């Protein structure tokens, strides 16, 4: 059975949104993520976002990769801070590469520092 790629995590503050990505990402996952982000950012603009990436295996299709890029471009200016927590060098590199293209301040944290990532988002 394939595990769910996109999962909303419970956050302790309304202005901090949190999601988890695991496994391989399909277009359906991206569509659900985009719809959720649209609803949440309408209610709470200029909040913070925690993205936890757990064992990312890549995209299931080219359409999924394009949907991810479109979501990145669509929501890039709706947050003041974005923390990416992961366990692979590619997540650190992708966070650093995306930083100049977003009004949000982006930071990468290794998975064992998820608490530090949340503390930074709350500050």
pLDDT digits (tens, 9 = 90+) for 50-65: 999 988 888 888 888 8
**Which helix (H) or strand (E) covers residue 98, if one does?**
helix 89-98
* Whole-angstrom distance, CA of residue 17 vs CA of residue 44: 9
Please tell me the predicted confidence (pLDDT) of residue 4: 64
Please tell me the predicted confidence (pLDDT) of residue 96: 79
Pairing of strands 79-86, 6-8: unpaired
Whole-model pTM above 0.95?
A: no
Pairing of strands 105-110, 6-8: unpaired
* Whole-angstrom distance, CA of residue 117 vs CA of residue 35: 24
pLDDT for 67-94, tens place per residue? 887 888 788 788 999 999 998 777 877 7
Please tell me the predicted confidence (pLDDT) of residue 93: 79
Residues 104, 79: contact at Cβ < 8 Å?
yes
pLDDT for 1-46, tens place per residue? 345 688 888 877 778 999 999 888 888 888 999 999 988 888 777 8
Please tell me the predicted confidence (pLDDT) of residue 25: 87
């Amino acid at each position: 059975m394939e595990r769910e790629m996109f999962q909303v995590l419970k956050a302790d503050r309304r202005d901090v949104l949190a999601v988890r990505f695991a496994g391989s990402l399909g277009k359906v996952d991206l569509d659900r993520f985009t719809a959720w982000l649209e609803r949440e950012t309408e209610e709470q603009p200029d909040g913070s976002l925690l993205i936890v990436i757990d064992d990312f295996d890549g995209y299931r299709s080219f359409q999924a990769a394009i949907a991810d890029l479109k979501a990145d471009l669509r929501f890039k200016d709706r947050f003041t801070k974005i923390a990416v927590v992961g366990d692979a060098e590619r997540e650190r590199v992708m966070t650093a590469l995306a930083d100049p293209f977003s009004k949000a301040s982006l930071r990468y944290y290794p998975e064992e520092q998820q608490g530090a990532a949340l503390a930074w988002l709350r500050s």
